[in-house]
A and B are shown apart, each in its own frame.
Chain A
């Protein structure tokens, strides 16, 4: 079973719900994700939230983000592309959990759920291209 689905979303906090619906519907169709759907949806939504919050400072924009969810050879990849503020991967650090404060948990969640989190630097037409992968 291989598949690939793509959808564009407005860059605003109200889109996060649509991102989750898109992912849930897709995972629901494939029983291999049955016990992982909530986690995968959370990881994708956290990544999308980072685009809204950090890439665009939650400010209105006409830009859209593109999300591709692929499953190929038992590897799931969720790709997010945007034209927001360029991400410097070395600046992204999951929060120290001993430091109890609001904020900064999203990256930690993504790291906990996914096997690999990579920013691809060669993508044409987009500023940021994040790829989250997990093997099944």
Chain B
């Protein structure tokens, strides 16, 4: 997994790339969580995420919950087909913020 972060005003966009599994979840959290803790609105761009398993989904859930707790939000952008399929399998499309 690789990533790129851009910031504009209070919006931080994290572009994730590659495969997100148990091996990289800590790295993903290390990127996303500080932005949430800084009360940024975090946009996760998932266009180039080719694979996501339950560990990756856990990162999305934890991010969403932490953001809600801190009064901000995480929005999932340009979700790749394979990631959307897993989100829907977990029936999270009504819970997470999908754009």
Contacts and interface: CB of A to CB of B under 8 A. Distances in A.
Given A13-B21, A38-B85, A97 B58 contact: no
B58 A52 contact: no
B23 interface: yes
Interface of A: 13-14, 16-17, 20, 38, 41-42, 45-46, 49, 52-53, 97, 100-106, 108-109, 112
Nearest to B64: A100
Interface in B1-55: 19, 21-23, 51, 53-55
A56 to B, nearest CB: 12
Contacts of A108: 54, 90
Given A42-B53, A100-B61, A105 B90 contact: yes
A105 B21 contact: no
Interface of B: 19, 21-23, 51, 53-55, 57-59, 61-62, 65, 82, 85-86, 89-92, 95
Given A41-B51, A52-B22, A105-B90, 16 more contacts: A17-B19, A17-B21, A17-B23, A38-B51, A42-B86, A45-B21, A45-B53, A49-B22, A49-B54, A49-B55, A53-B22, A100-B61, A102-B61, A102-B65, A106-B54, A108-B54
Nearest to B60: A102
Main SS of the interface on chain A?
helix
Given A38-B82, A102-B61, A97 B54 contact: no
Given A106-B53, A108-B90, A109-B89, A101 B61 contact: yes
A20 B51 contact: yes
Contacts of A112: 89
A100 B92 CA distance: 8
A86 to B, nearest CB: 21
A101 B19 CA distance: 22
Contacts of B55: 49
B22 A105 contact: no
